[in-house]
């Protein structure tokens, strides 16, 4: 059964519509990552990259279907208790790719949508591509011998499915100490860029914005910038002191460059196991007012402003799939799947 048919059947049951009604007083937050243009490259880019035409179509629908609020509205609701209208929704972008400035910002401006962009300042300081995208590129285009070599360095069984190897490598490297990950990525990046002695045009998509670009976008408050740690490190993978430093450096660099307070934050990776109450307290003491996870739900933001969930937009998403996911039903479907898997 095709995905589209599943969405049609689900809609006919009336269940998604019921969840929409039940969740209409919970904030819906979208999370985009990379944006690209030109020919569509379905399956040929990381799973976080969405074509600008798809994003535009989604945001046009989004604005018709929901009451799109601004970051100021959300902050006002958190700090002063003001009530957001039913079916309120917010747009966010993670990582701060250069493509946001070039492709996404003009679309948002045309639709009069204010977004929050969460940036990791280490990549802006160094003007280097994000490590997770370069690792994806390595798996996509390296030889089997190169992948075997990486498995040896990480003590991973090389005699298994490539997809499982990739998942295991990503899982290990996401939670690896920064210095060790840097050493591994130096070799991965070097080998990934060896082809023709130049950097692939695809790799150019993996770079962050420069500080001059975020200054320009922030000038008239059309775009808000939030923290995403300095080095895009999962907070629960490091100790409390290291986490505090990651948050402090990130916040200070954003504020120094924009001359504005940085009050929003998004947890790297964003699953429920990637942060805890200790990190929420660090963020609060640092002066942040809200923090966003990536747990595919809708949130009552005043219940816990340091765990406002978001829905990740994937390249295969369309209006039907997003309408289903925006209802807030996804976590319940996942629980049922896990229960069935456990029973069987």
Here the tokens at position 246 are 């990651």
Report the candidate in 240, 300, 305, 312 with the shortest Cα–Cα distance to residue 269.
312
pLDDT at 197: 47
How would you classify the pairing of strands 264-266 and 115-119?
unpaired
pLDDT digits (tens, 9 = 90+) for 79-115: 998 899 999 999 999 999 999 999 999 999 999 999 9
Task: Using alpha carbons only, give the angle 118, 122, 126 rounded to the nearest 5 degrees.
Answer: 125
pLDDT at 186: 86
Here the tokens at position 105 are 């910002």
DSSP class of residue 201 equals T
Q: Rg of the chain over CA atoms, in angstroms?
A: 20
Strand-pair partners of 88? 67
Q: In angstroms, rounded to a whole number, what is the distance separating the alpha carbons of residues 7 and 193? A: 41
CATH number of this structure's domain 3-123+207-343: 3.20.20.370
Domain ranges of the chain: 3-123+207-343, 131-197
Report the candidate in 93, 85, 44 with the shortest Cα–Cα distance to residue 315.
44
pLDDT digits (tens, 9 = 90+) for 180-222: 999 999 877 776 666 544 457 788 999 999 999 999 999 989 9
Q: How far is the CA of 154 from the CAs of 132, 170, 188, in angstroms?
A: 16, 11, 13
pLDDT at 191: 66
Whole-prediction pTM: 0.93
Start-to-end C-alpha separation, the chain: 22
Q: How far is the CA of 86 from the CAs of 66, 77, 95, 206, 248, in angstroms?
A: 8, 13, 29, 37, 35
pLDDT at 196: 44
Here the tokens at position 167 are 């998942």
Pick out the chain residues at pLDDT < 70: 1-12, 191-199, 332-344
pLDDT at 20: 85
């Amino acid at each position: 059964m095709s995905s589209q048919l599943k969405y049609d059947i689900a809609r006919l049951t009336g269940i998604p519509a019921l969840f929409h009604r039940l969740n209409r007083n919970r904030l819906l937050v979208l999370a985009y990552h990379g944006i690209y243009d030109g020919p569509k490259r379905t399956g040929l880019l990381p799973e976080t990259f969405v074509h600008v035409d798809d994003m535009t179509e989604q945001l046009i629908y989004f604005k018709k279907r929901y009451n799109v609020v601004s970051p100021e509205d959300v902050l006002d609701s958190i700090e002063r208790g003001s009530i957001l209208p039913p079916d309120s929704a917010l747009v966010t972008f993670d990582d701060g790719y250069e493509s946001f400035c070039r492709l996404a910002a003009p679309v948002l401006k045309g639709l009069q949508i204010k977004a929050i962009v969460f940036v990791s300042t280490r990549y802006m300081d160094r003007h280097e591509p994000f490590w997770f995208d370069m690792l994806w590129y390595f798996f996509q285009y390296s030889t089997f011998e190169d992948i075997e070599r990486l498995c040896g360095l990480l003590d991973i069984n090389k005699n298994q499915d490539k997809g499982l190897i990739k998942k295991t490598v990503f899982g290990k490297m996401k939670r690896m100490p920064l210095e060790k990950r840097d050493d591994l990525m130096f070799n991965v990046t070097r080998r990934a860029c060896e082809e023709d002695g130049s950097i692939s045009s695809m790799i150019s998509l993996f770079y962050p914005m420069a500080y001059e670009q975020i200054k320009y976008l922030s000038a008239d408050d059309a775009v808000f910038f939030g923290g995403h740690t300095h080095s895009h490190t999962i907070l629960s993978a490091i100790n409390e002191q290291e986490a505090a430093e990651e948050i402090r450096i990130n916040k200070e660099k954003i504020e120094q460059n924009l001359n504005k307070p940085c009050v929003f934050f998004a947890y790297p990776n964003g699953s429920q196991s990637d942060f805890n109450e200790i990190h929420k307290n660090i963020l609060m003491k640092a002066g942040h007012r809200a923090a966003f996870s990536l747990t595919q739900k809708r949130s009552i933001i005043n219940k816990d402003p340091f765990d406002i969930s978001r829905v990740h937009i994937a390249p295969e998403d369309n209006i039907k799939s997003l309408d289903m996911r925006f209802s807030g039903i996804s976590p319940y479907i996942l629980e049922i799947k896990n229960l069935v898997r456990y029973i069987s």
